[in-house]
Structure 1
């Protein structure tokens, strides 16, 4: 599977190093998330979703502050206000939840975006826009997994565990959307400086 623990470790170390050098508040928030691994940005998103009681998909300053605090990120009060104001471009006193997460993602080159799209389309065998256990039959080989080999897990259990890598942290539902898949590879991509290496990794992982 693409996106190994090695990539997570490398990204975490790189983000931690860069954190000491940057003064930009949004970059600092991004790096603190990436220091937690591939699912760092997704995890912060989940915190915000839990707090969005009225389901209006927007956050006021108090909700934003609570989300950052609940996720355990170390941000000074002054920095929090600076971050919020950078995201609140129209000065409405609230920020759009989805727009916030998109801006928090590190930028991706077009070559990387194309590979992520191709990998998702290959896994989404039914073409319904989500990846489920049914999609993985004949696409992902579970029979080499140690827990399948020793009889602990069925093939479908291996598939579910595989999907958890891409699913929203702490809230796996066995259904992976393109956004979840993309967010996962945003994290993996952050540990890889070279486009060519990222392309080779994706092609090898998914036989593209």
Structure 2
């Protein structure tokens, strides 16, 4: 121990006195290790510095965007942009922080699988109903059975009880004239639909329809789920041959060409006594096709009967008239959509003293004037003529104001509408048709709003802004109906061009 050279102070602190001195080999390894550690720390510091600078730059760009929006909002004062409009426009802040695409993709895949299961279940039920109903209900099947039953008027002890006897549904030797086969019923087009209604329970019904080419008939079924495990599939519109009840094709039988995404199917409510009372309150039941089996449709189109060319031309001309008006109003509605659409609904309801949803020409002209949505007189007259000729006036010179608004202002596409319905169905888990404001507050999450991330606003401020603009759309202060919820997002949709931007705006705060 006495021959050992004194160690540097740093080594004396680390190495115990009773250990042998490190050899030159291990000293070299230690120096290499020390050099690597220093180099690694240096690289880590540089990366951390770059990351911090990147975050600062990102936050600065977000602030710049926010300031830009505020400046634009101030400049827009001359265009009648109110504080309420600006608060509604805050919802666009979710566009800057897209919804988690990986999480969204997983949810979407699960939803697609669940939707396919529903469709398969409904399709199986349709086949069961119509393959068995024809046999059971055919009067010929009862002839033999009635004769047998009449022979046993009194009970006989020598005859075995009914439960032990061999029983058949009918005498199989009898041929029936109305029996459908699986092959005949397989030539069909399956589609999803929703009811055009402001009633939340009706608007959110899950409807799946079928159009059969063998006799040009159609049927619509409703899929209902009670809790997690209990489901029910029942006919909503019974299988029959139906005709258009309004529009250019009024009175004409439904054909294959009438089925496409966005098409309307119209039925007289009085012809379907089993419909819910809320639907029978209206003269017409209007069902919008939201999705369709395009493969089956394309394969059957070759044998379909073409519609008259003049009707197709007339419908195209009608769309051009409404498109011209919508283009005129688009700029006026761009930043004021939420306030104007919700305001129009309230205004129409005040004018509708009878509560039947119908108003006359002067009422609509006055409404457009009140909300600074005037359109050229010629275009207005053309639109009014089309709405009257297409059977929307019910023969009394009045038009349904829901139809008028959809035609003059337009509406969001079915992709966007599907997410609005999905959110409302999530909120309205009891299927009452309205949601308490307190539940809206609990479910709405503003964590991923750009202003919250940048520190410009708090979660509570963004949430309060949303609730304030939503409450303004409501007739009751403590709850939101489906129609009011839909109007809010319909107005917001008018200022959003990209579907994916709308997807982020509605999916991010609601977590769907």
- Please indicate the TM-score interval, normalised by the length of the shorter structure: 0.5 to 0.7
Which residue of structure 1 aligns with residue 341 of structure 2? 41
1:95-174 superposed matches below 5 A: 95-136=399-440, 138-140=442-444, 144-146=459-461, 162-167=466-471, 169=473, 171=475, 173-174=477-478
Gaps of 5+ in 1: 9-21, 148-157
1:8-27 superposed matches below 5 A: 24-27=324-327
Shift in CA distance, 23/109, structure 1 to aligned 2, threshold 3 Å? closer
Counterpart-to-counterpart distance in 1, 2:429 and 2:439: 5
**Shift of residue 85 of structure 1?**
2.2
Which residue of structure 1 aligns with residue 362 of structure 2? 62
Shift in CA distance, 172/69, structure 1 to aligned 2, threshold 3 Å? farther
Which residue of structure 2 aligns with residue 201 of structure 1? 505
Q: Which 10-residue stretch deviates more, 187-196 or 73-82?
A: 73-82
SS in 2 for 1:24: helix
Gaps of 5+ in 2: 1-86, 94-321, 447-457
**Shift of residue 97 of structure 1?**
1.7
Shift in CA distance, 76/190, structure 1 to aligned 2, threshold 3 Å? closer
Contact 2:337 2:491 in 1 (8 A): yes
The structure having more radius of gyration, on CA atoms, is 2
- Alignment TM-score, normalising by the size of structure 1: 0.67
Contact 1:7 1:191 in 2 (8 A): no
Structure with the largest fraction of strand:
2
SS in 2 for 1:176: strand
Deviations 1:6-34 (A, max 9, x none): 749xxxxxxxxxxxxx9823543465344
**Shift of residue 105 of structure 1?**
5.0
Contact 2:337 2:494 in 1 (8 A): no
SS in 1 for 2:359: strand
Shift in CA distance, 27/185, structure 1 to aligned 2, threshold 3 Å? same
Aligned counterpart in structure 1 of residue 487 of structure 2, from 170, 183, 191: 183
Is it true that 1:52 corresponds to 2:352 in the alignment? yes
Shift in CA distance, 84/33, structure 1 to aligned 2, threshold 3 Å? farther
Which residue of structure 2 aligns with residue 12 of structure 1? none
Counterpart-to-counterpart distance in 1, 2:330 and 2:359: 18
Is it true that 1:85 corresponds to 2:400 in the alignment? no
Contact 2:427 2:440 in 1 (8 A): yes
Contact 2:335 2:495 in 1 (8 A): no
Counterpart-to-counterpart distance in 1, 2:409 and 2:323: 17
SS in 2 for 1:75: coil
Which residue of structure 2 aligns with residue 17 of structure 1? none
Is it true that 1:32 corresponds to 2:332 in the alignment? yes
What RMSD in Å do the two structures reach over aligned CA positions?
3.6
Counterpart-to-counterpart distance in 2, 1:34 and 1:46: 20
Q: How many residues align?
A: 183
Q: Which 10-residue stretch deviates more, 108-117 or 133-142?
A: 133-142
